[in-house]
Structure 1
Amino acid sequence: MKSEKKIYFSMVMCALFWAGAFVAGKIGVNEFPPFSLAFFRFLFSTIIVFPMMIRHEDKNWKLKKSDLPVLLVLGIVGMFGYHVLFFTALKYTTAINSSMIAATNPMLTSILASLLIKERLGIKRIGTILIAFSGVVLTITNGQIGVIKDISFNIGDIIMLFAVICWVVYSVISKKVMPKYSPLIITAYSFLICLVTLIPFVFIEKPLTYLPNVTWKGWVSVLYMSVFASVIGYLVQQISIKKIGPSKTNVFINLVPVFSVILSFLILKEEVTIIKIFSVAIIITGVYLNSRLKIEIKASA
Structure 2
Amino acid sequence: MAPLPGPRASAAAYPILTLTTLLWAGNAVAGKWAVGAVSPQVLTTLRWAFAFALLLVIARRQVAADRDRLAARWPYLLLMGAFGFTIFASLFYAAGTYTTAVNVALIQGAVPVFVMLLNFVVRRAPVRAGQVIGAGITLAGVAVAATHGDLALLRSLGFNLGDGLMLTACLVYAGYTVALTARPAVSGLAFFTALALAAFVTSLPPLAAEWALGRSIWPSTAAAWAIVAFVALGPSLLAQLSFIRGVELIGPNRAGLFVNLVPVFGAGLAVLLAGEPFAGSDALALGLVLGGILIAETAGRRAARSDERRTRQAKDGR
Q: 1:36 aligns with which of 24, 34, 42?
A: 42
Larger Rg: 2
Paired with 2:249 and 2:66, the residues of 1 have a C-alpha distance of 20
- Partner AA of 1:190 in structure 2: L
Residue correspondence of structure 1 range 214-293 to structure 2 within 5 A: 214-292=220-298, 293=300
Paired with 1:99 and 1:20, the residues of 2 have a C-alpha distance of 14
- Partner AA of 1:187 in structure 2: F
* Structure 2 match to 1:202: 207
Q: 1:181 aligns with which of 186, 189, 192?
A: 186
> Which string of whole-angstrom CA distances, capped at 9 and with x for unpartnered residues, describes residues 99-137 of structure 1?
011111111111111111232112111111111111111
Paired with 2:69 and 2:123, the residues of 1 have a C-alpha distance of 22
Paired with 1:209 and 1:132, the residues of 2 have a C-alpha distance of 37
Paired with 2:56 and 2:98, the residues of 1 have a C-alpha distance of 34
CA-CA distance at 1:211 after TM superposition: 4.8
For the 8 Å contact 2:107–2:163, the answer to whether it is kept is yes
TM-score, normalised with respect to structure 2: 0.86
- Partner AA of 2:68 in structure 1: K
Paired with 1:283 and 1:202, the residues of 2 have a C-alpha distance of 36
> Which string of whole-angstrom CA distances, capped at 9 and with x for unpartnered residues, describes residues 163-209 of structure 1?
1111111111121125x223222221111011112223323433998
CA-CA distance at 1:148 after TM superposition: 1.0
Structure 1 regions of 5+ residues with no counterpart?
A: none
**What secondary structure is seen at the aligned counterpart in 2 of 1:31?**
coil
Comparing 180-189 with 232-241, greater Cα deviation is found at 180-189
Paired with 1:150 and 1:274, the residues of 2 have a C-alpha distance of 22
TM-score, normalised with respect to structure 1: 0.91
For the 8 Å contact 1:29–1:87, the answer to whether it is kept is no
* Structure 1 match to 2:4: none
For the 8 Å contact 2:94–2:165, the answer to whether it is kept is yes
Q: 1:46 aligns with which of 46, 52, 60?
A: 52
CA-CA distance at 1:218 after TM superposition: 2.2
For the 8 Å contact 1:54–1:61, the answer to whether it is kept is no
Comparing 127-136 with 286-295, greater Cα deviation is found at 286-295
CA, structure 1 residues 145+197, in 2 after alignment: closer, same or farther (shift >3 Å)?
A: same
Q: Identity over aligned residues, as a percent? A: 24
CA-CA distance at 1:229 after TM superposition: 0.6
* Structure 2 match to 1:148: 154
- Partner AA of 1:201 in structure 2: P
Paired with 1:56 and 1:212, the residues of 2 have a C-alpha distance of 33
Paired with 1:172 and 1:29, the residues of 2 have a C-alpha distance of 32
- Partner AA of 1:181 in structure 2: V
CA, structure 1 residues 258+125, in 2 after alignment: closer, same or farther (shift >3 Å)?
A: same
Comparing 213-222 with 123-132, greater Cα deviation is found at 213-222
* Structure 2 match to 1:191: 196
**What secondary structure is seen at the aligned counterpart in 2 of 1:205?**
helix
For the 8 Å contact 2:108–2:166, the answer to whether it is kept is yes
CA, structure 1 residues 216+92, in 2 after alignment: closer, same or farther (shift >3 Å)?
A: farther
Paired with 2:21 and 2:76, the residues of 1 have a C-alpha distance of 26
Corresponding pairs, count: 297
- Partner AA of 2:144 in structure 1: L
Indicate yes or no: 2:12 matched with 1:6. Answer: yes
Paired with 1:211 and 1:274, the residues of 2 have a C-alpha distance of 39
For the 8 Å contact 2:9–2:250, the answer to whether it is kept is no
RMSD: 2.2
**Structure (1 or 2) with the greater helix fraction:** 2
* Structure 2 match to 1:95: 101
* Structure 2 match to 1:138: 144
